[in-house]
Structure 1
Amino acid sequence: MAQSRSAIAANDTRSKNKKIEEIIAALDYLRIEARKSGNEDIYNLIDSTFSICLHTFCIINRYELNKTMPNIGKRESRED
């Protein structure tokens, strides 16, 4: 049975999200290990990369949610 385009796109998005989550988890592990090692330069480099990836992931998810539900968070205009 053939999948619809939207189902294929949803699977692709889930797959990409899973990969990004794995990258963030790996960076978090490296960040913790760098902190334990005491090398502040390495820690700062990994921590910055972790923050960039995490924030980018959140922005992408927010964008995807807004595409799916364009009216979410918008207030209805009230006329008196």
Structure 2
Amino acid sequence: MLDKQGEIIPPYVFLLPTERDKLMHKIDHRVMHNSMQQMASIQEQLGCLNINLSGQTIAHADCYEIIVSAIKRSAM
């Protein structure tokens, strides 16, 4: 994650507040979509893509639909 000046924000700065405020699924969704979009073009060389999702994301009501949507949108 980058701040307004383009500097990297270390995960320890934003992950705990994000989990506390139950917003982790939003970060996971963005990571999922961005990763799949970027990796779709090198899928054959890559072989597989692993993304770690938080427990909050997996427990979220729309988790399955978000994963399916990300896969379809990326054509993976």
TM superposition score normalised by structure 2: 0.34
Larger Rg: 1
Identify which of structures 1 and 2 has the higher relative contact order when contacts are C-alpha pairs closer than 8 Å and 6+ apart: 2
Greater percentage in helix = 1
TM superposition score normalised by structure 1: 0.33
